[in-house]
Structure formats: C-alpha cells, structure tokens
C-alpha cells in the first residue's frame, strides 16, 4: 500500500521562494569586485532572480543546457545559483584557479552555451574563448558603468540584461531528479570529471547540512562562506542560508585574514566556512589584534584536515570548530566532527582527540571501510581501509562518462583511507594514493603532518613516501619553516611523542614553499616528483 502524501518535487527554486516569503527582510551583503559594498534582501534577490530567469529564457537557454560561471562569492553569482537551475538548466561553476587547459577542457566537455564572468576573469576568457566553440555569448557580471573594453566577440552586460526584464515569472515545476548544477573535480590524475547534481539531491543535502550536528544553521545566523561557490557549491551554504533565512555575507574576491576579520566584525558574522589555509591567516590576524572576534561562535573547517593546534587556537578564542569532511562527489557533505553529550565534560585534550577526527556521518550518508578485496573491516577505530559511501546526495556516475564509480550495491569509493570508531567517528588516515607503504604496513601521512604542524617553527608540513630499498617507502617530512629552519633532531624527537616509532620520518627537508592544487591542497604528486631521486640518510 502506498502512502497518501503529496508528491511535490524538491526544487531549488522553492528554497528562494521560501526565503522571499518568510525572510524577505533578511540581508545578503556582498563585496563587489568593482569595490564598495552591496546590500539587499532576500525579497530583492528573489525579484532579480526572476528577472534573470527571463533573461536566460530570452537568450535561448533551454532545459538541460549548461551555463558556465566564472565568479567569486557575490550576490550576482547567488542569483545565478537559483535562476539557472530554476528554469531547468544546469549551473556549471568553473574553478578559475585551474590551468587554462583544464578550464577549456571543462567548458568544452560541458558544452557550455553561455559564460557569466566576473570582471576579474575577462582577461582569462579573452585568452581562452577561441578554444571554446560552444560558447555563444559572454555575460559580464557588472553594470554599464564598469563594462570593460574587450576583444570578446559576443559580450553582454549583466545589469543591462536584467534591467530590460520585469519580474513577472513563475518558477516552472518539473521532475526533482532534473540536473541542477555541474562541478568538475580538479582531476589531480587524468582529466577533470563532472559531478552532476540534481534538484532532489541538492534539497536533501540542504536539509541535512543545516542539522544541529552539522552546520547548525538557523534564522539567527549571519553566515560568511569563504569556501568558493565554484568549489562544490560553497559547501552547499548558498542553499542552506535561504532554507533557514540566515543573513549572508559574501566576501567577493579578497579573502585575506584581515578582510575576513573586518567583515565579520562589521556584519556580526556568527558562522563561517573555509579551508585551513584561510583560517591560519585569519588566526594570525585575530591574535595580533585587540578587536576580538565579535559574534563569531563557530567555524567550519574542511577540504583538508585542520591541525590540532588550529582547533586549540580557536577554542582559546571561545569559538567552536566544526571540521567537515566531504568531496565534490558528495555535494559535498559527508561527516562533521561535533562532540557527543557525554564528551562535553571531558578534559580539553580528550575533546581535541575527538575533534581532530573527521567526524560522524550525517543522517543520509552511509559509510563503511573495506580492504582491497572488498571485505568489510571492523569499526574499531584502529583498522584502516578504503572508505566507501552511499546516499541520496552521493554521485552515481560522472557526466558523459560510461565507467561507473559505484559498485553493484551502490557504494562509491572515496579514494580516502580511514578508520571508523565504535561511536561512529571516521578519521581519514590518508588519500589512498598518498599513504606511505613501509614494509607492507601503512603509515598515515596526514597524521605525521598534523603532528609536525604542532612544532613551533613549522609553518606548513607535508609527508611523502621516499624510495627505500628495504622498506619500499619511508616517510620524508617536507617543511616550510617559520623563519629560520628549526633543528631537525628536535623536530623528530617532538614527533616521537605523537606517533609510533616506526612511523618517524627518515629525514626532514626544508623548502621555501609547497606546491598547492587549485583548491589549496598540497600537491603530493608534484612533491613526489620533486623528491623522486631523494636519497634518504637511512639507506
Ligand atoms: P578536489 O580534489 O577538487 O580538491 P574535493 O574537495 O572533492 O576536490 O576533495 C575531496 C577530498 O578532500 C576528500 O576525498 C579528502 O581526501 C579531502 N578532504 C576533504 N575534507 C577533509 C578533511 N576534513 N580532512 C581530511 N581530508 C579532507
């Protein structure tokens, strides 16, 4: 027997409709790339988004068409996040930090018909447009007064287009499984792969990401997403904010610690989300200022593991750290690390032991670890294996690719190696390709890096496997020092208090900087290449 409840489709447009009706007065504040500030409300935004929907229709955008964006976190990008999927097209966010070849590959693979670009990226598009035959016109996200002189053939001004429309538009209703947005993984190996989100997956992800043990969003919040909208939809925040009616502060282009700090104080920000590199800069800024952190009460850290010392520094400021783990393929939310009730009274050190883990799966994400043969491994917090996930906001395949990333039972292999403890906390020990295989045993590069980051004088650390004739690989610690390089022996002695003896790096090398990917992660492939012939002193 079937239930008798309504089958209303879960559509992205309904999030903004909800915000307009129930939180119409709530502000969205942005830092435009043109300078100054831009403020308006959800009511204004909803109106303009309907005008934008009409603009898209007038341009000839049809259901299923891909419309590319190259833009920072601003109100105009926010409008595109709703208008493009709202009419049944696909909002394809392109990461402008990728290499030219990757950007053209992605735009061509997606067959983007239009590109909406911030002023900052006009030059980039001028350089590449000749290699993007599917693009019919480029719309510059600015007003007439700021339109640049450009060699682009078909160029339009965003504000002029909107000004020509009225907002008499009703959002169409369609199948909730319709594709809504597209985001390519950065493809550290092989070509980038397109993750194609749906309305249904996005709305369910929005509910789950707003839960108390995840972001805990509410209408009381002022959210500042530093995580870019071009990387996994700014971790879903643009959708969650509308769902709960939170004030949004969109930082635009400048995300330095100083700017973010000032913006937080000015706008009364309560929650913010960013990768560890940004938070490091922010903490340095805050600790050298006497201005405090205003209303900020929690931060989300994700993308890579935050060092323990970072969580401690936030705690000293009275700010909760919510570490999130996820990936583009997961919309992106997988787990969040928050304490359970009985842990609230634990000593600080034991709390930190929990909070450095990547956390518990939000309801909707199933997780398990298996060995290379696919055998299920125990959730004992010690055994580590390949982490697999499944759920309604996990990918089932890549855009225009036949090879399936999931097995017959729907499990998606994350490429991460992890433990899961009996209370549900997952801890990443490595990316499968970064784990160090020493004499048949696995050493976690992440754990070593985190430990090294706690040593004074270490600004950034990365551990890779260096060739060893007896053990296959042994850990090599690569450090960017804070000022003068610290003493190697003292550093290794310090590490011996944190990891098993056989995990200790065979050597430490100091470098001026580490190579990073477009999403701010240490590029281990480049580092391994650089130290391919490195001769460990233990050989
Ligand atoms: P990209 O490859 O473009 O950077 P993703 O953001 O999808 O794309 O990367 C996902 C990967 O990032 C995860 O599989 C995991 O290895 C790593 N990651 C994300 N969050 C964390 C975290 N909190 N701790 C450790 N690793 C993380």
List all residues 6 or more positions away from 290 whose beta carbon is below 8 Å from its beta carbon: none
* 147 DSSP 8-state letter: P
CA 264 to chain CA mean position, Å:
20
Residues 431 and 521: beta-carbon distance below 8 Å:
no
pLDDT digit string (tens) for 443-482? 989 889 989 999 999 999 999 999 999 899 999 999 999 9
Q: Cβ(273) to ligand 1 under 6 A? A: no
pLDDT digit string (tens) for 385-420? 999 999 999 999 999 999 899 999 999 999 999 999
Sign (positive or negative) of CA dihedral 435, 437, 442, 445: negative
pLDDT over 80 at 518, yes or no: no
- Cα three-residue angle 69-77-171, rounded to 5 degrees: 100
As a whole number, the mean pLDDT across the chain is: 95
- The residue with tokens 């939000």 is 362
CA 251 to chain CA mean position, Å:
15
Whole-structure pTM value: 0.91
What is the best residue among 275, 326, 398, 413 to mutate for testing ligand 1's pocket, by most ligand atoms within 8 Å of CB?
A: 326
β 366-370/458-468 pair status: unpaired
Q: What is the mean pLDDT of residues 211-236?
A: 97
Domains of the chain: 12-25+40-201 (3.40.50.12780), 361-431 (2.30.38.10), 436-530 (3.30.300.30)
List all residues 6 or more positions away from 465 whose beta carbon is below 8 Å from its beta carbon: 436, 437, 438, 443, 445, 472, 473, 474, 475, 476, 528
- Give the ligand 1 atom nearest the CA of 185: 3
Q: Is the peptide bond before 332 cis (omega within 30 degrees of 0)?
A: yes
pLDDT over 70 at 187, yes or no: no
List all residues 6 or more positions away from 490 whose beta carbon is below 8 Å from its beta carbon: none
Q: What is the mean pLDDT of residues 33-47?
A: 98
* Confidence at residue 431, expressed as pLDDT on a 0 to 100 scale: 85
For residue 319, the number of C-alpha atoms closer than 13 Å in the C-beta half-sphere is 28
- Alpha-helical (H) ranges within 139-246 are 158-163, 199-209, 237-244
Q: Which two tokens stand for residue 248?
A: 């949004």
pLDDT digit string (tens) for 376-386? 999 999 998 99
- Cα three-residue angle 244-184-332, rounded to 5 degrees: 35
pLDDT digit string (tens) for 111-146? 999 999 999 999 999 999 999 999 999 999 999 999
pLDDT category at 188 given cuts 50, 70, 90 is low
CA–CA dist 271, 504 (Å, integer): 37
Q: Cβ(233) to ligand 1 under 6 A? A: no
pLDDT over 70 at 343, yes or no: yes
* Confidence at residue 262, expressed as pLDDT on a 0 to 100 scale: 98
Residues labelled as active-site residues: 185, 329, 437, 442
* 474 DSSP 8-state letter: E
- Give the ligand 1 atom nearest the CA of 446: 25
């Amino acid at each position: 027997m079937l239930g008798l409840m309504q089958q209303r489709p879960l559509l992205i447009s309904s999030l903004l409709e909800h915000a307009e009706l129930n939180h119409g007065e709530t502000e969205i504040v942005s830092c435009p790339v043109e300078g100054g500030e831009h403020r308006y409300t959800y009511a204004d935004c909803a109106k303009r988004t309907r005008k934008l929907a009409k603009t898209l229709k007038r341009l000839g955008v049809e259901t299923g068409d891909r419309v590319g964006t190259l833009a920072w976190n601003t109100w105009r990008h926010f409008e595109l996040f709703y208008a493009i999927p709202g009419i049944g097209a696909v909002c394809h966010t392109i990461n402008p930090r990728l290499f030219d070849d990757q950007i053209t590959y992605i735009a061509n693979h997606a067959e983007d018909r239009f590109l909406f670009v911030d002023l900052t990226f006009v030059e980039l598009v001028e350089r590449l447009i000749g290699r993007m035959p599917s693009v019919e016109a480029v719309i510059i996200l600015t007003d007439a007064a700021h339109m640049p002189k450009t060699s682009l053939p078909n160029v339009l001004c965003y504000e002029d287009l909107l000004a020509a429309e009225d907002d008499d538009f009703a959002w169409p209703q369609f199948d909730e499984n319709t594709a809504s947005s597209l985001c390519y993984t950065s493809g550290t190996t092989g070509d980038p792969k397109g993750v194609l989100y749906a309305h249904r997956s996005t709305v369910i992800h929005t509910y789950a990401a707003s839960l108390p043990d995840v972001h805990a969003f509410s209408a009381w919040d002022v959210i500042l997403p530093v995580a870019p909208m071009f990387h996994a939809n700014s971790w879903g925040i643009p959708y969650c904010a509308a769902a709960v009616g939170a004030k949004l502060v969109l930082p635009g282009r400048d995300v330095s610690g100083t700017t973010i700090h000032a913006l937080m104080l000015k706008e009364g920000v309560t929650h913010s989300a960013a990768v560890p590199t940004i938070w490091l800069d922010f903490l340095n800024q805050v600790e050298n200022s006497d201005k405090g952190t205003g209303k900020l009460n929690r931060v989300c850290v994700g993308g890579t593991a935050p060092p323990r010392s970072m969580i401690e520094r936030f705690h000293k400021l009275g700010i909760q750290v919510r570490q999130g783990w996820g990936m583009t393929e997961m919309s992106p939310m997988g787990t969040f690390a928050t304490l359970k009730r009985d842990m609230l009274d634990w000593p600080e050190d034991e709390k930190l032991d929990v909070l450095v883990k990547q956390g518990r799966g939000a309801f909707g994400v199933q997780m398990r670890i298996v060995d290379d043969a696919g055998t299920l491994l125990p959730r004992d917090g010690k055994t580590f294996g390949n982490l697999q996930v499944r759920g309604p906001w996990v990918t089932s395949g890549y855009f225009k690719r036949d090879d399936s990333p999931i097995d017959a039972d729907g499990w998606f292999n994350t490429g991460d190696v992890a433990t899961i403890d009996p209370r549900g906390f997952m801890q990443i020990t490595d990316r499968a390709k970064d784990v160090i295989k020493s004499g048949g045993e696995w050493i976690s590069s992440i754990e070593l890096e985190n430990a090294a980051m706690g040593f004074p004088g270490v600004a950034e650390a990365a551990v890779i496997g260096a060739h060893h004739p007896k053990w296959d690989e042994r850990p090599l610690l690569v450090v960017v020092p804070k000022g003068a390089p610290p003493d190697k022996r003292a550093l290794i002695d310090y590490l011996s208090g944190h990891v098993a003896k056989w995990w200790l790096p065979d050597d430490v090398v100091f470098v001026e900087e580490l190579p990073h990917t477009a999403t701010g992660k240490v590029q281990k492939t480049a580092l391994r290449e650089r130290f391919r012939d490195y001769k460990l002193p233990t050989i």
